[in-house]
Amino acid sequence: MTLGRAIDDKAPNYLKQAIGWSYHAPYAGHDGIQLAIGQIFEKQKDHLFPYYRDMLTAFSAGMTAEELILNGISKATDPSSGGRHMSNHFAKPEWNIHNVSSLTGNHTLHAVGAARAIKYYGEKAVSISSQGESSLSEGYVYEAINGASKEKLPVIFAVQDNGYGISVPKKDQTATRKVANNFKSFKNLRIIHCNGKDVFDSMNAMTEAKKHVLEVGEPVIVQANCVRMRSHSNSDRHDLYRSEAERQYVLDYDPLAKFRRLLIRYKRFTEEEIAAIEAEAKATLKAAHKAALAAPDPDPESYPDFVLPEPYISEKYPDGTHEEEGDKKKLITALNETLKAEFKHNPDTFMWGQDMANKDKGGIFNVSKGLQQEFGPKRIFNAPIAEDFIMGTANGMSRFSEKIRIVVEGAEFADYFWPAMEQYVDSSHDYWRSNGKFTPNVTIRLASGGYIGGGLYHSQNIEGALTSIPGVRIVYPSFADDAAGLLRTSMRSRGMTMFMEPKALYNDPKAATVIPDDFEVPFGKARTRRAGSDLFIVTYGNTTHHCLEAAQKLADEGIECEVLDLRSLVPMDKEAILDGVKKIGKVLVVHEDKVHSGFGAEITATIMEEAFEYLDGPVHRIGSPFTPVGFHPILERAILPNTNKIYEAAKKILAY
């Protein structure tokens, strides 16, 4: 406690000296509960998700003074992130002290996911989410606690209540003074209150919480009453919203000073012995400071490292094509059979989402039909209608073991995925932020696109927004064999993949193909669907078939179009695109999404930057206008690309 406080007090000086620690959230006033959280944590067995104020928690859990300072001044040898994450975000993934983001309380969902794995694999361990009381105002924290109580998961939510969310007092957050009591009606959930300033009360509370979780098998909220002795962080001035009397009051309740007095009063230590401890702390801090300053800074050339892990590589199908003969299968069958095959291939594969497992129903479109019956309710199960919960617990469960692979139906329709974007974005930079120590091994399935008369929230395309976020592979098949091959590669690869399923093609005979049982399609490898010499068409998803139909219509007039099906948007097969441009010169880019800021803009920009001299006229784009997709079939037909629109655009380009 003495050394931790010495580091906490010294941290702002690094910023003043322009050495680092640009973000520091002092923990002084939380000493009792943070010491207790770290003391009950068993490294490499339990899972700990600390938040940005948890310096003493991390120190108590076993991290060294030097490691804390390495994080604070963002050195390359920082075990938390190698200098890639904000200072004061402490982690040691190899011990299960997890790297979490700055987003308040979002790691609560990760803790629940890790607890789900602990329970499934029968470990005698707990998952601990540590957070401030204001995080309980977040909807995804409610989702986490709701899910943990529903599933009876071994998780402790340690809530450090200092009465403020930055400058916002608790009365502006909730009507309940003891915010944990907002969850009193939850079944299978115990709530323990303690004095987070007091070492003994905090230790008793956390020990009891862990005992209850391990013996009863139900989650616990521990609400610890703390004080915040300093400002929220070094960018905050608490004198602007706290009176001098209040600031003095919290100093009077200093937990470390109180503990020191108790040790003297009850003759556990003498003044001389405590003075020796304080002298030792100063010496340790001095040595740690010196060692951390001498550590290397991050290499500026390393910034591209750890954006995406290396994918699974197919040796049998390196270009993602085959010559298989036999009966054709529909796209929905391809997905269903591949899921079943991969669940047999890897027994540590799991899937959940909405409508996944209601008797004979398997998802809103029955893609997962029969999986629960074959692989059981512990591997295939329904999630609450809470998209952030679906994503966040997938992230957390994958932290338990590298062998785990998770498939989630992220939302019933892609349009409904937006509530999960908080977790999607956070998960997208886990690999980079942790300096390569963790990546969520998750495949996200989304039924995407229109051509079904679904209208708003049932027919929109969202890939234009998703492709702007690094750290996730995004694939969009058009045919059954590619759907099977890309899904297999996604599920076998490390890292996160967004798997966009063109739902209008699930049962459409034109998307049906022959499929080898072991077919694999590599990421970033486009497929030429039709060869030609007069016009080069680049497309993907639903519009691949419209492009092929338009190409046939033009072929009847003696015009030969080459149609390139991208299959993979991130990574994109730039080489195949540029080769086609160089060969033909006239280019049409077609997709279902809006032309304005759609993915076609990225394709076009790439062509203009890297193959401009080969163009025989401007690149033309066909997509939807800048409007939502209408519900009525008449409106939908007016908005979405179709064969005739593509045909007319092609004729216009060929006239140049």
Query: DSSP string covering 261-320, please?
Result: HHHHHTTSS-HHHHHHHHHHHHHHHHHHHHHHHHSPPPPGGGTTTTSSPPPP--SS-TTS
Provide the token pair at 109: 């969902």
Cα(8)–Cα(21) distance, rounded to whole angstroms? 11
All residue ranges of the chain with pLDDT < 70 are: none
Q: Judge contact between 335 and 367, C-beta under 8 A.
A: yes
Q: Judge contact between 221 and 145, C-beta under 8 A.
A: yes
Highest CATH level, class, for 1-298: alpha beta
Q: Judge contact between 439 and 471, C-beta under 8 A.
A: no
Q: Residue 482: in which H helix or E strand, if any?
A: helix 480-492
Fold of 527-655: Rossmann fold (3.40.50)
Cα(356)–Cα(360) distance, rounded to whole angstroms? 9
DSSP per residue, 145-197: HHHHHHHT--EEEEEEE-SEETTEEGGGT-S-SSGGGGGTT-TT-EEEEEETT
Q: Judge contact between 77 and 293, C-beta under 8 A.
A: no
- Tokens 């590619």, residue? 482
CATH architecture of 331-511: 3-Layer(aba) Sandwich (3.40)
Cα(220)–Cα(217) distance, rounded to whole angstroms? 10
Single out the residue of 436, 481, 73, 576 nearest to residue 288, CA to CA: 73
pLDDT tens digit string along 274-330? Answer: 999 999 999 999 999 999 999 999 999 999 999 999 999 999 999 999 999 999 999
Counting Cα atoms < 13 Å in the Cβ hemisphere of 86 gives 14
Cβ-proximal residues to 579 (8 Å cutoff; 6+ apart), any chain: none
Which pLDDT score, from 0 to 100, does residue 629 have? 87
Q: What is the pTM of this model?
A: 0.97
Q: Which amino acid is at 495?
A: G
Cα(184)–Cα(454) distance, rounded to whole angstroms? 41
> What is the edge-to-edge ordering of all strands in the sheet holding 405-411?
380-382, 349-353, 405-411, 442-448, 497-502, 473-475, 568-570
Counting Cα atoms < 13 Å in the Cβ hemisphere of 248 gives 3
Which pLDDT score, from 0 to 100, does residue 454 have? 86
DSSP category for residue 42: -
**In the chain, ranges of CATH 3.40.50.970 domains:** 1-298, 331-511
Single out the residue of 49, 55, 62 nearest to residue 104, CA to CA: 49
Cα(398)–Cα(493) distance, rounded to whole angstroms? 13
**In the chain, ranges of CATH 3.40.50.920 domains:** 527-655
Which pLDDT score, from 0 to 100, does residue 361 have? 83
pLDDT tens digit string along 330-389? Answer: 999 999 999 999 999 999 999 999 988 877 888 889 999 999 999 999 999 999 999 999
Active-site residue list: 458
Q: Residue 338: in which H helix or E strand, if any?
A: helix 331-345
